[in-house]
Amino acid sequence: MTPNNISFDDFKNEVLNDYKLAVLSRECSILGRREVLMGKGAFGIFGDGKELPQIAMAKAFKNGDFRSGYYRDQTFMMAIGVLTAQQIFASTYGDTNIENNPESAGRQMNNHFSTHSLDEHGQWNNLTEQKNSVSDISCTAGQMPRLVGLAQASKIYRNHEGLKDFTKFSINGNEIAWGTIGNASTSEGHFFEAVNAAGVLQIPMIISIWDDEYGISVPAKYQTTKESISEILTGFQRTKEKDGFEILKVKGYDYPALIETYLKAEKIAREEHVPVIIHVTDLMQFTGHSTSGSHERYKSPKRLAYEKTIDCNTRMREWILGFEVKDDSGQTLRFVDDESELEAIEKEAKAEAKQAKKDAWNAFKKPLAAEEKEVKGIVNKIIKESKNAVFIKKLMAEFNDSMDVHAKPNLVFARKVYRYIADEDVSHKQDLKDFIVRTTNKYKTLYGTHLFNETEKSAVKIAEVKPTYDDDAPEVDARTILRDNFDYIFKTHPEVLIFGEDVGFIGDVNQGLEGLQKKYGELRVSDTGIREATIAGQGIGMAMRGLRPIAEIQYLDYILYALQILSDDLATLHYRSVGRQMAPLIIRTRGHRLEGIWHSGSPMNGINNLLKGVCVLVPRNMMKAAGFYNTLLESNDPAVVIENLNGYRLKEKKPNNFGAFKTPIGVVETLVEGTDITVLSYGSTLKLVSEAAKELKQFGISCEVIDAQSIQPFDIQHDLVKSIAKTNRLAIIDEDYSGGASAYLLDEILVKQDAYRYLDSKPLIIAANDHRAAYGTDGDYFSNPSTEDVFEKIYGLMHEVDPVKYPKVF
């Protein structure tokens, strides 16, 4: 490395500061592990053995850039100035105070790093003025799909004229998305899918692979062909003729080479928007994988001895001691005169780590100790008066013996004591009750908020706007309603873009985007490869950078390829970052009954269950679907919108307020009023249900037909219980398997809305068969609920109620 633009003294200071940081970070790992083993944290995973490459990466990381990495990156986070030693300990203790533990306030395991993209009111910070990191997830390679979107956002901002005012998010698309991943995690499909996507898209992404030749106990020979990820990726290397990646390889203990490599990579990615892979080899683990085990168990003495020889901190120390250059006058310049200078730095760094540990523990303990003191004080007074003092004293003795400093033991103690005084008239009873209620609420809030958006941008707060129609409004192909509405959206929202398989050139497989690529350009309406996980990832990453992506999954049945990332990343993002990050992504897909095992599925509860934190919307027609898109673009909640696969060519009346009409979220719609039975359904099945309701009417049965519309959130106004209070009966008709969405809906209605008390008959569930729907033309009829099934089952129920009025049909 030639420090050509700084003085030797500045260079020396930088080197010695870097060394100090490496030692400090190492010491935090060592002490952090010890804290967990002493029982002061539940789990610990640290970044020891990988300090130097992270310091080098930090030198190339600029304001506006984004990191999408994993649990090893503590030194990097410290080096860019967004993580302190004290915060490393706070996260290890699981401190719930966001000031002490800004990563996740105790929601995530330690070293799951994060910065804040949003302020405490849910408003975007200026991301170009800060260094950004997505809140990490534990799932190996789970950081890769979104990395594609984070990098692609720069390309969009650089090339899309309409976004020049989006100055909080980008300065001419100069920002790089930096991925980090362990060598073993590159075995995951997500890694290869993301690499291929980035190569195709040519986006400013730099992936660092921290290679310590292990994935917990499993060595490289079981992980990677040829035991070298850069070797097997060579086909991705760009050439003069063809775009691809720049692939660089560097040893993780070679400080000057690391800096040179990172600055080179940065230049390529930032200026040319070309993706780069840096394979950082010869790394090691100093304290082993995590506190769950010790690496002495599975690494041979030879390997352990070898690891000592490649310890990057030791190597840097040696390099510093051996470094000499001559200045212009021929004088020899050194970083240090002798080893004692380094020993002083080491001593200082270790003392800093120790103090940080102490400060973090004290800050963590303070409120808990105060709560402990308070509850003990109250109970000591109660003991003086209670008839059950003997029992309470026993509880107090046990509580005094406990070393556990958390909220749980305080509350367990308080709640157990309260049982003994529940029917007594002791003077401090109310104090104990207040303590229990206040403390429970406090921690429920600390651990339970922000699953969904809690600001005015919450999806459920966006008011309904009905479609309006000209007097002579024509009936048109339903797909054109979507198309015309999307047209309006693209015209008025420069930040909206849509992408997916067959979305661009042909305007989606059902022509809901017909002509829009031509009108709005390839950047905004684009085709992607067949790679659902990274289509979702593109959406997540771009939404995290202020764009409003609509990621299309061609068929609902194929959402399973993306479901892991939607579940682990998208659905948890707002919660795990305590509302300091969001990805208001819209997933557009289409499903339910068509034909064949993979084009007729409706695994609604599978999806719904795995996507808590994402709105799951099931519009019954395209006007409703278009209305959902309009609502969602006003909101900051993420959503999956499932259009009806068999509804595009049906006729719907053409509204005249495209872009303005909004379908409410979390609200059911009563389609037919009735008195005998409440019939709930959603999506394409509603057509059959409405038909059956008409037929039942002819036989004297009055159905109240309700469209769920929004599976999650469901019926926040509790209209179902109101309907059942009137009809006293409930039928749910569902294309999901029995025990699927219908079981969820029953729980929502009977348990959460207390509708059980109005029921005069057993709830009727008409669901699909447990096998997937067969392809043959009759497959649907014999696999899914049919109009006749609905008629007969509801009629049968009414026969049980009044056999005279409704004589048996079968």
User: What are the catalytic residues?
Assistant: 599
> Which residues ranging from 170 to 209 are in contact with ligand TPP (CB under 6 A)?
182-185
Q: Which residue is nearest to Mg ion (CB)?
A: 182
Q: Please say which residue, 103 or 212, places its beta carbon nearer to ligand TPP.
A: 212
Report what 288 binds from ligand TPP, Mg ion, none; CB cut-off 5-8 Å by kind.
Answer: none
> Which residues ranging from 224 to 263 are in contact with ligand TPP (CB under 6 A)?
none
DSSP 8-state code for residue 339: H
Point out which span in 210-218, 270-278, 458-466, 499-507 binds ligand TPP (CB under 6 A). 210-218
Alpha helices in 455-567 (DSSP H): 478-492, 516-520, 532-543, 560-565
Phi, psi of 233 (to 5 degrees): -90, 5
Q: Is 510 exposed, middle or buried (0-12, 13-18, 19+ CB in 10 A)?
A: buried
Centre a 10 Å sphere on the Cβ of residue 38 and count the other Cβ atoms it contains: 8
Q: How many residues bind Mg ion (CB under 5 A)?
A: 5
Contact status, residue 165 vs residue 503, Cβ threshold 8 Å: no
Q: Please say which residue, 103 or 213, places its beta carbon nearer to Mg ion.
A: 213
> Which residues ranging from 36 to 75 are in contact with ligand TPP (CB under 6 A)?
72
Q: Is 113 a residue that touches ligand TPP (CB under 6 A)?
A: no
Point out which span in 27-35, 181-189, 560-568, 741-749 binds Mg ion (CB under 5 A). 181-189
Residue carrying the six token digits 């969009």:
156
Q: Is 185 a residue that touches Mg ion (CB under 5 A)?
A: no
Q: Please say which residue, 141 or 184, places its beta carbon nearer to Mg ion.
A: 184
In whole angstroms, how close is the CB of 378 to ligand TPP at the nearest point?
A: 43
Point out which span in 107-115, 210-218, 259-267, 349-357 binds Mg ion (CB under 5 A). 210-218
Point out which span in 213-221, 456-464, 534-542, 756-764 binds Mg ion (CB under 5 A). 213-221
In whole angstroms, how close is the CB of 233 to ligand TPP at the nearest point?
A: 16
Member of 84, 108, 183, 453 binding Mg ion (CB under 5 A)? 183
Query: CA distances (Å), 317 to each of 15, 435, 765, 797, in order?
Result: 10, 54, 71, 82
Q: Is 182 a residue that touches Mg ion (CB under 5 A)?
A: yes
CA 545 to chain centre: 14
In whole angstroms, how close is the CB of 380 to Mg ion at the nearest point?
A: 53
Member of 110, 140, 174, 631 binding ligand TPP (CB under 6 A)? 140
Member of 41, 173, 215, 579 binding ligand TPP (CB under 6 A)? 215
Point out which span in 30-38, 134-142, 668-676, 790-798 binds ligand TPP (CB under 6 A). 134-142
Secondary element (H or E) of residue 246:
strand 246-251
In whole angstroms, how close is the CB of 185 to ligand TPP at the nearest point?
A: 3
In whole angstroms, how close is the CB of 352 to Mg ion at the nearest point?
A: 28
Which candidate, 364, 292, 254, places its Cα nearest to that of 71?
Answer: 292
Angle between helices 85-93 and 339-385 (to 10 degrees): 40
Task: Name the token pair of 454.
Answer: 């809690």
Q: How many residues bind ligand TPP (CB under 6 A)?
A: 14
Report what 216 binds from ligand TPP, Mg ion, none; CB cut-off 5-8 Å by kind.
Answer: ligand TPP
Q: Please say which residue, 290 or 742, places its beta carbon nearer to Mg ion.
A: 290
Angle between helices 532-543 and 144-159 (to 10 degrees): 60
Cα(795)–Cα(810) distance, integer angstroms: 10
In whole angstroms, how close is the CB of 184 to Mg ion at the nearest point?
A: 5
Q: Please say which residue, 289 or 624, places its beta carbon nearer to ligand TPP.
A: 289
In whole angstroms, how close is the CB of 72 to Mg ion at the nearest point?
A: 8
Q: Which residues lie closer than 8 Å to 415 by C-beta, 6 or more apart? A: 436
Q: To the nearest 5 percent, what fractions of the chain are helix, strand and coil?
A: 45, 15, 40
In whole angstroms, how close is the CB of 45 to ligand TPP at the nearest point?
A: 8
Cα(78)–Cα(88) distance, integer angstroms: 9
CA 354 to chain centre: 34
Cα(584)–Cα(547) distance, integer angstroms: 9
Which sign does the torsion angle of CA 307, 311, 314, 315 carry?
positive
Q: Is 139 a residue that touches ligand TPP (CB under 6 A)?
A: yes
In whole angstroms, how close is the CB of 29 to ligand TPP at the nearest point?
A: 12
Binding map of ligand TPP across residues 489-518, x = CB under 6 A, - = no contact: ------------------------------
Cα(683)–Cα(545) distance, integer angstroms: 32
DSSP 8-state code for residue 125: P
Q: Please say which residue, 138 or 172, places its beta carbon nearer to ligand TPP.
A: 138
Task: Name the token pair of 485.
Answer: 């509405």
Give the DSSP per-residue string, 252-314: TT-HHHHHHHHHHHHHHHHHH---EEEEEES---SS-S-TT--GGGTS-HHHHHHHHHT-HHH
Report what 185 binds from ligand TPP, Mg ion, none; CB cut-off 5-8 Å by kind.
Answer: ligand TPP
Q: Which residues lie closer than 8 Å to 315 by C-beta, 6 or more apart? A: 52, 253, 254, 255
Member of 216, 321, 412, 672 binding ligand TPP (CB under 6 A)? 216
Query: CA distances (Å), 592 to each of 146, 318, 365, in order?
Result: 28, 65, 53
Q: Please say which residue, 431 or 568, places its beta carbon nearer to ligand TPP.
A: 568
Secondary element (H or E) of residue 63:
none
Binding map of Mg ion across residues 282-321, x = CB under 5 A, - = no contact: ----------------------------------------
Member of 89, 169, 191, 214 binding ligand TPP (CB under 6 A)? 214
Length of the chain: 810
In whole angstroms, how close is the CB of 709 to ligand TPP at the nearest point?
A: 34
Cα(800)–Cα(677) distance, integer angstroms: 13
In whole angstroms, how close is the CB of 182 to Mg ion at the nearest point?
A: 4
Contact status, residue 60 vs residue 94, Cβ threshold 8 Å: no
Report what 310 binds from Mg ion, ligand TPP, none; CB cut-off 5-8 Å by kind.
Answer: none
Contact status, residue 746 vs residue 763, Cβ threshold 8 Å: yes
> Which residues ranging from 267 to 326 are in contact with ligand TPP (CB under 6 A)?
289
Binding map of ligand TPP across residues 558-597, x = CB under 6 A, - = no contact: ----------------------------------------
Q: Which residues lie closer than 8 Å to 195 by C-beta, 6 or more apart? A: 207, 233, 236, 245, 275, 277
Task: Name the token pair of 354.
Answer: 């120790």
Member of 138, 362, 380, 492 binding ligand TPP (CB under 6 A)? 138
Q: Is 412 a residue that touches ligand TPP (CB under 6 A)?
A: no
In whole angstroms, how close is the CB of 560 to ligand TPP at the nearest point?
A: 16
As a three-state string, the secondary structure of 397-412 is HHHHHCCCCCHHHHHH
Residues forming the site for Mg ion (CB under 5 A): 182-184, 212, 214
Residues forming the site for ligand TPP (CB under 6 A): 72, 138-140, 182-185, 210, 212, 214-216, 289
